[in-house]
Amino acid sequence: MVERQKQIGRDRVSRLVSWGHWFAFINGLLAIIVGYRYLDTIGLPESFIGWGYLVISTIGHFSFLAFMVYLVFIFPITLLLPYSRILRGYAATVATLSLCLLLYDTVIYDDYGLHLSPFVFDLAWADLNALLRGTSYIITPLAILVIELTLANFLWKRVEKIRKRNVGNKVVVLVGICFVASHLIHIWGDAADVTEITHFDDAYPLSYPATAKSLMESYGIEGSRDHRSQTPPKASLQYPLSPMQCTADSLPNILVIAVDSLRADLVDESTMPFLSSYAQQNMNFTKHLSGGNQFNSGMFSLLYALQGSYSNAVDLHYQSPVLTQELAAKGYDLGLFTTQDTLPAPLAIFDDFERVDAEHINSYAISDLQSIANWQQWTGSASQPWFSLLNLKSPDSYDTPIGFLGIKTVQSSSKLKPAQKVLFNQYRQSLNFIDKQIESVVNNLPKGTMVVITGVNGKMFTSNSDEERVNLSPDSVRVPMIIHWPNEESAKQIKYRTTHNGLVPAILTQTLGCTNPASDYSSDQSLMQPSDKTWVYVGDHRIFAIYQESEITVIDRHGKYRIYDSEYHKRLKKKLSAPELVEVMREGRRLYNH
């Protein structure tokens, strides 16, 4: 009798488990229906490869999410309370909450381009009225609950018939194949940079597709410079918002000297005497911020004039910056002078340039000297007008040529650790070397040349590249911005805050006579006028900081955030400043087609 009771109990649990598996599978299908809203935001694929990958990855991903919800929240209750009525009601409630959460995530993703996380949840909660319009947020959960209860009861009554058909194993195999195949295809797509596949990387919540690049790098395998497919995907980014209207009267030569890792606070008389004096004689923006702490994010903001959240836009793998497009249209010769190991991201950023690379073997200082020689040769033979971007890299690696006689060491104004003191003074030697090279370039320019001298990014004193990559302190992003306008008396010290995003509007309006508002192609106003924004976005789409008047908020790709004081010294125990951050997220979606 006891054995029979145990057997009845085991049969009941077995039936409940079987019911739970089918309930999870069908909820995975419902999640796919809800998840279609993500595709309204990012756009549908236009190739068989894209559609094939999208179908199998969608089936695999949402089925996996549904099974995880079942495994964590429903399966334990099946063992603890093996009573069908209780379990059906409980499972329907869990499924309803899960689908509502997914539906809410689609709304947030459409508005901000981000999935739910601690940061985004706080932000969305503050902006709840704007996100949830009408009464659908009341009616929809009730409708989903009715559907879930109906589904739970329907399956319970038919679970035995379904079990007898023995289709469960086939469904498991199908879902498993889709899940594994989607990751294998993504490994190939990531290695070959097939945008029809990688375009969907961030589309779904909790999606972490397998990649191949780290494996390739560990074996020393390098991809080609340009993996772009011949046919660009359908445009999802409207950049610029309207056609450019530019009518320039005169077309001066333009030289932009962009120095990697050039801190603003060390452009002084003892370290960089020429540049310090040049800044006093021209337009010097004393509170200037780069768009990022790395080469890619800094150069992206300098040339595209967009905040770093756009740096993963697939369109920009095929579309060069508005600035270089307009310069080319006006007949400018465009030349880029950098080292051969400089790889752009996004890939189209240097497409309009004639690129002249210096060889890089052991010393960036030697490479910089070669870049300058290449620049001198190019400008000597270029037809006017020309636009040249001279990228110097020595300070990033604290490099100077062998035998360089530099400057005496000094005490840092800030407290440094012993190892940092060594790096600080070696960095100053490198800056002094670069200062002499800038002097030789500027003093031999043709008359009437517009000159822009700035840092691609700032510098913190560390040999740890991982620490340097995630540090978004003012030391890493405060850079000089010095502009010489030809044929003008422009000695002026600008005290308001400016960013790299403001350089392109300044050149297009002041030099090329463009009448479009800066908002058509930039995330900021021209350098020539104070910005009406109370915040600055610094970083890329993975980790970024929001600089405000008295605090700095750092957010990573998982939505974790920390708030520091204005000098990055002290971590503050406070909540996000929601109104400004809502503006940040909206700016990050403003140029996308909806």
Same domain, 265 and 154: no
Final residue belonging to a domain, choices 186, 218, 250 = 218
Let me know if residue 329 belongs to a domain: yes
Residue 536 pLDDT exceeds 90: yes
pLDDT the model gives residue 25: 94
**pLDDT band at residue 129, thresholds of 50, 70 and 90?**
low
Residue 354 pLDDT exceeds 60: yes
Let me know if residue 592 belongs to a domain: no
Let me know if residue 30 belongs to a domain: yes
Same domain, 304 and 176: no
Residue 146 pLDDT exceeds 50: yes
Assign 3-state DSSP to the chain and report helix, strand, coil percentages, each to 5.
Answer: 50, 10, 35
Q: Provide the b/e sequence for 284-300 (b: ≥16 CB within 10 Å).
A: bbeebbbbbbbbbbbbb
pLDDT the model gives residue 222: 46
Residues 285-323 have pLDDT tens digits of 999 999 999 999 999 999 999 999 898 887 888 899 999
Residues 570-587 have pLDDT tens digits of 887 777 767 778 888 889
Same domain, 174 and 316: no
pLDDT the model gives residue 132: 67
Same domain, 159 and 12: yes
Residues 557-573 have pLDDT tens digits of 767 788 899 888 888 77
Cα-based torsion angle of the residue sequence 583, 594, 321, 510 in order, rounded to the nearest 10 degrees: -60
35-49, 126-140, 229-243, 491-505: the lowest-pLDDT one: 126-140
Same domain, 84 and 195: yes
38-47, 346-355, 490-499: the lowest-pLDDT one: 38-47
Residue 344 pLDDT exceeds 90: no
Same domain, 210 and 278: no
Q: Which contacts qualify for 145-152: CB closer than 8 Å, 24 or more apart? A: 145/92, 145/93, 145/96, 147/30, 148/27, 148/91, 148/92, 148/93, 148/95, 148/96, 148/99, 149/88, 149/89, 149/92, 151/23, 151/26, 151/27, 151/92, 152/23, 152/88, 152/89, 152/91, 152/92
pLDDT the model gives residue 521: 97
pLDDT the model gives residue 133: 62
Residues 209-260 have pLDDT tens digits of 887 655 544 444 444 445 455 455 566 789 999 999 999 878 999 999 999 9
**pLDDT band at residue 130, thresholds of 50, 70 and 90?**
low
227-236, 322-331, 491-500: the lowest-pLDDT one: 227-236
**Beta pairing, strands 354-358 & 333-339:** parallel
Q: What is the CATH number of the domain that holds 441?
A: 3.40.720.10
Final residue belonging to a domain, choices 190, 218, 246 = 218
**pLDDT band at residue 7, thresholds of 50, 70 and 90?**
low
Predicted TM-score (pTM) of this structure: 0.81
**pLDDT band at residue 10, thresholds of 50, 70 and 90?**
confident
How far, CA to CA in Å, does 198 sit from each of 40, 242, 313, 557?
A: 17, 28, 11, 17
Final residue belonging to a domain, choices 156, 185, 218 = 218
Let me know if residue 354 belongs to a domain: yes
Let me know if residue 230 belongs to a domain: no
pLDDT the model gives residue 415: 79
Average pLDDT over residues 335-353: 87
Let me know if residue 314 belongs to a domain: yes
Let me know if residue 225 belongs to a domain: no
Domain, as residue range, for 35: 2-218
pLDDT the model gives residue 11: 74
Same domain, 214 and 265: no
pLDDT the model gives residue 231: 54
**pLDDT band at residue 419, thresholds of 50, 70 and 90?**
confident
Same domain, 378 and 505: yes
Same domain, 71 and 192: yes
d(CA 202, CA 555): 17
Same domain, 472 and 535: yes
Average model confidence (pLDDT) across the chain: 87
Residue 167 pLDDT exceeds 60: yes
> How many domains is the chain built from?
2
Residues 172-193 have pLDDT tens digits of 999 999 999 999 999 988 887 7
Let me know if residue 233 belongs to a domain: no
Same domain, 276 and 347: yes
Structure tokens, 248: 């320039």
Q: What percent of the chain has pLDDT over 90?
A: 55
Same domain, 161 and 268: no
Q: Provide the b/e sequence for 218-249 (b: ≥16 CB within 10 Å).
A: eeeeeeeeebbeeeebeebeebbeeebebeee
